[in-house]
Amino acid sequence: MDSTEVVNPATGGVLRAVPSNGPAETDAAIERAQRAFPAWRQMAPGDRARLLRRFAAVVDDHIEELAELEVRNAGHTIGNARWEAGNVRDVLDYYAGAPERLSGRQIPVPGGLDVTIHEPLGVVGIIVPWNFPMPIAGWGFAPALAAGNTVVLKPAELTPLTAIRLGELALEAGLPQDVFTVLPGKGSVVGQRFVTHPAVRKVCFTGSTEVGKSIMAGCADQVKRVTLELGGKSANIVFADADLERAAATAPGGVFDNAGQDCCARSRLLVQESVYERFLSLLEPAVKAFRVQDPSLDTAEMGPLISAAHRDKVASYTGEAEVAFTGEAPAGDGWWFPPTVLLARSSSDRHWREEVFGPVLSVMPFADEAEAIELANDTEYGLSGSIWTRDLGRALRMARAVETGNLSVNSHSSVRYWTPFGGMKQSGLGRELGPDALLSFTDVKNVFIATDS
């Protein structure tokens, strides 16, 4: 079996080599998951729930281990990594309540009794990106398992280590063999087999819009269900009546968190023109104070980019643009890049239109609500965004008008496991998290029972 070297992005050093599954190994794992499915779906709902709670408890016992592993593998700050491991635990706990509450309906009909039943699909294939390896894995496997499906999960080639460990912890918690399987390997091999193998009844993919389109097209051949969470180019809209000091102080975290490698990053900053210059003067010290440090330090707010190739891609956007100001970043080994603020002179500027996926913020003024809406919606993406205003009516008007799946008012929060998450337009298809995510891992079966003699 081939292997892939996993690198620490903060140092450039090799952590370890991870075996890459080929077509034969992938097929064998999918077929084992298919054989494990009948017993898992038929398990008493309370017993399935108990195993998921136990899985959550085992993850909780290993929070620090998982966090430290993610710091080394993905370059996440230790604070973020602890939250991410805790999110896996919380999502498992949340969906552990689902098996005993996965209720259908009784629908009034003449001549009999009509009921609906939520049936699990079978084997679910989950393809996880490198930017948030732990939480995005959990958003897929927790509801899928709770609904009675078995899961095969492919981590990103760059960041497989925490997924591999979660697979081990699932077995330690008592999940039956082959109910949850982690399959490291290439997307063109393992991920593509999820798309083409007839036993995989649904694919969950998080990643680029380009790859998401190809997965959707491939799944169409078998009318296979998909959930897609794709790119973003989210707007942070600041009105003149907002708390400008707070909006400026929080803007760096809204875009530079995880080194900007976040589909929800508020990478387009729209500021009402009457306060534009003042806001930039408030933003500059906040950007310069943003701490880009060794991610293992508790004080770090941002770590390195994931790879040298990705750093070069991000740099290509700043070399051709007008730089307003930058923050600081370590020199030397690792894939470091400073927080950077660019001035957008036109909505056709490349850095304004394309998803940079790095610590780069593009700024543009606007005149009024109408122009803010036009600029915010002038993109193929629609994943997240923020609106800063003290006017409740304006906040509601803007929230209805901006074409995006997740919006925050006077906040940069995008993800809460209690609420739906997903995109509009080319940012994706379907919703993860929240009370309804479980249903996307089931088919609704309608049963009519005649009562007429």
**What is the per-residue pLDDT across 420-437, written as a single tens digit (0 to 9) for each?**
999 999 999 999 999 999
pLDDT value, residue 344: 97
Would you call 354 a catalytic residue per the annotation? no
Which positions of the chain have pLDDT values less than 50?
A: none
Residue 30 corresponds to which tokens in the numbers above?
């999918």
CB atoms within 10 A of CB 452: 6
CB atoms within 10 A of CB 444: 11
Q: Which residue in the list 204, 219, 263, 264 is annotated as catalytic? A: 263
pLDDT value, residue 200: 98
Would you call 263 a catalytic residue per the annotation? yes
Q: Which residue in the list 229, 301, 355, 432 is annotated as catalytic? A: 229
* Residue located via tokens 């394309």: 354
pLDDT value, residue 342: 98
pLDDT value, residue 319: 87
Tell me, what DSSP letter sits at residue 421? B
pLDDT value, residue 260: 98
Residue 366 corresponds to which tokens in the numbers above?
């606007």
CB atoms within 10 A of CB 217: 10
- Alpha-carbon distances, residue 6 vs 136, 235, 308 (angstroms): 19, 34, 13
Report the number of secondary-structure helices (H) and strands (E) in the chain: 14, 18
Q: pLDDT tens digit string along 45-55?
A: 999 999 999 99
Helix, strand and coil percent figures for the chain, each rounded to 5: 45, 20, 35
Q: Please report, as a single letter, which amino acid is at residue 363.
A: V
